[in-house]
Amino acid sequence: MIGTTINNIKSKYKIKEETSELSLIIVYFFAFISNIILFINYAPVISNDSSSYIYAIESFLSGKLDLQRTPVYPALIYICNLFFGSQYMLQTVCLFQYLIFFISIKYFFKTASYFIKSNLIIFLTTLLYACHPSISIYSANILTESLAVSLTIILVYTQLKISKQPSVKYVVFGVILMLILIFLRPAMLFILPVIFLYNLYLYITSKNKIYILFLTGTLLISSAQIGYCSIFKQQHGIFSPGYISLLNKYYMLRELSLLDIPSDNTTLLAQDIRRNNAKEVPKENYYADFFLLVDKYPLSDINEILRKQTSDNLSVYILAIGKRFFVSSLSRVGFWHYPSEGFLDKLLYTIFMKLPLIVGFIYIFLILYLFKMISIYKRDKTIDMRDLFLWGFICSNIILMIIGAQDEWNRLILPVLPFI
């Protein structure tokens, strides 16, 4: 009787495993077709930010930290150039990004199985992730978004795997992934406190010393980031991994009309900022004005003026952050900014620019999911911490996006978008 029951369980498990394998094969089939179309039609896509990644390696090779970019992505471009030459360098970067993206599809499927019981829904959500052009198109771009999304998927799966089956090899792999993500894209800093707190909880509840290893790795990465920022301050004058955060603050202050520098400040920098602030120009021109300031003045001086303007108008600045939550909620999740010439362009443009899928729906989903977790806790007096971990992971990215960056919501939300 017991043997029959065990055989039935094994049989059901085998059927489920075979179903999962078939589902993944189907997903990969459609993902290959959709992504090969995007690659052939668009790769490599060169945006306004691409050149700064391409040429950043020159600063690192000269012994200095780059003003804008952290080293991981410029190093990838440099390695592709060494092995494949400048003629195929960017295409190779795109192919590498597609490779990591395709690997992440499997880990997305496995991550979904932690939270979803229905095989059909797991299949459909994975298919959406694998074929959604607004996500996969970034693999054809010379930008960090594609690797940020793919590696975040793999990192979240690794963390969930560690919480279920603590293992040194998974901890080491997770720490390496975090290190790469932090120095790929400084905005990924939001992952550190969430993962630290989750592993602290796991250690407290299990007393398994493997979690101490992960906590130590998280602290070492934080120390490495602090060290990098300290070197940047020595070389360029501000404690930061790059001046992008300063650019974002300049943009936000100017957008809020908070750059009215008092007339008693007669420095050349203050005069230039007042002159820029008096011009009526599109917001896109704010970047060019900031770059001119950086060419003429030390970052420390620019930082001091922006810091003072923020502190002198702190209440207005804080209220503006609240307003940014509302403004961001009206932004579309997907977008398509490529020329609307061919049939594919027109189709994708129609899908992303006409459908009313906005970031606000994500906020509503997160609020409803929070109420769901509270309801479960009240009923069962317990909660699945994996749910809370993922919820906190998404929310921390959104908070950092609202507070620390300008209005490119649909791009900045990408690393956590697949989890929603």
Tell me the mean pLDDT per 10 residues along the chain, length 420. 48 55 92 88 83 94 95 96 93 95 95 88 90 83 92 95 92 96 91 93 92 95 96 95 90 86 86 87 87 94 92 85 70 57 65 58 82 87 87 85 69 73
Q: How far apart are CA 136 and CA 123, in angstroms?
A: 17
| pLDDT for the residue numbered 9 | 44
CB 257 within 8 A of CB 234: no
| pLDDT for the residue numbered 104 | 96
Q: Among residues 391, 363, 420, 414, which one has the least CA distance to residue 188? A: 414
| pLDDT for the residue numbered 6 | 47
The full DSSP string for 257-281 is T-----TT---HHHHHHHHHHHS--
Cis peptide before 44 (omega within 30 of 0): yes
pTM, two decimal places: 0.88
Q: How far apart are CA 80 and CA 92, in angstroms?
A: 6
| pLDDT for the residue numbered 13 | 44
The full DSSP string for 128-180 is HHHH-HHHHGGGGBSSSHHHHHHHHHHHHHHHHHHHHS--HHHHHHHHHHHHH
Please list the residues that pair with 332 across neighbouring strands: 358
CB 251 within 8 A of CB 406: yes
Q: Among residues 30, 48, 60, which one has the least CA distance to residue 242? A: 60
Rounded to a whole number, what is the distance in angstroms from the first to the last CA of the chain? 44
Q: How far apart are CA 205 and CA 149, in angstroms?
A: 30
| pLDDT for the residue numbered 346 | 66
Distances (CA, A) of 135 to 140, 146, 195, 334: 10, 7, 24, 8
Q: How far apart are CA 329 and CA 347, in angstroms?
A: 25
The helix-helix angle for 50-61 and 72-115 (nearest 10°) equals: 120
**What is the number of residues in the chain?**
420
| pLDDT for the residue numbered 345 | 65
